[in-house]
Structure 1
Amino acid sequence: MPLVSRIVAAILGGYALAALASVAALALPIARPQAVLTGMLASFALYAGAVIWVFAVRSATRAWVGLLMAAAVLMPAAWVAWHAGGSA
């Protein structure tokens, strides 16, 4: 069961983290097209890093906690960018 949990964390948790990073990049003080490109490029690196993290840590619980902590860091910027809409 821990292996299944890690696989789910890698696939779904990594995807969620990458999506959050992609949206959070829109809060950067740069032009909107540049922010979109930056978010897309950063999301690929974050997804790969999340998959590596999930299988490198000691337990599946630590993998989930690590993903949740990273998501908690990105959430405020993603929230601001999401609710700012097209005002930038």
Structure 2
Amino acid sequence: MTRSANQPRSAWPAIAARTALALLGGYAFTYAFTAALARLLPLYPVDAVTAASLLSFVVYLVFILWAFASASLRRVLVAVGVAIPLAIVGFWPQLMEVLG
């Protein structure tokens, strides 16, 4: 069965991609954001980790909602890519132990 030009294509691949990016990419972004925030907050380490961890639930929820509200899938991919510099900031001491 062939599809004519007037028939719309299925929306399921786009929904599946957004779902995967929202769940997995959102988790990666939130994990990196939480680590970076815990490192950068000017508090005692225990308090910084607690504050960053509490905020992580809101960040993850907002990322998931934004992944489905975003106009294009490319914007969501760019936001997931922002997790790399955040992870470098958050895990810099551990990274230096491994590298040096």
CA gap of 1:73–1:53, structure 2 versus 1, over 3 A, is: farther
Q: Offset of 1:59 from its aligned partner?
A: 1.9
Q: Mind listing any 5+ residue stretches in structure 1 that lack a counterpart?
A: none
TM-aligned CA distance change 1:82 to 1:47, over 3 Å: farther
Instruction: Let me know the Cα RMSD of the aligned residues.
Output: 2.1
Question: Which position in structure 2 is the counterpart of 1:59?
Answer: 72
TM-score, normalised relative to structure 2: 0.70
For structure 2, the residue ranges without an aligned partner over 5 or more in a row are: 1-12
* 1:23 aligned onto 2:51: no
Deviation string 1:32-78 (CA, Å, 9 cap, x unpaired) is: 11011012012111101111110111122221122223x14523321
| 1:1-88 superposed matches below 5 A | 1-28=13-40, 29-69=42-82, 71-80=83-92, 82-83=94-95
Deviation at 1:83, TM superposition (A): 4.5
The alignment covers a number of residue pairs equal to 84
Determine what percentage of the aligned residue pairs are the same residue. Answer: 29
Q: TM-score, normalised by structure 1?
A: 0.78
Distance in 1 (alpha carbons) for counterparts of 2:46 and 2:58: 19
Name the larger-Rg structure. Answer: 2
Report deviation, 1:31: 0.6
Q: Which has the higher helix share?
A: 1
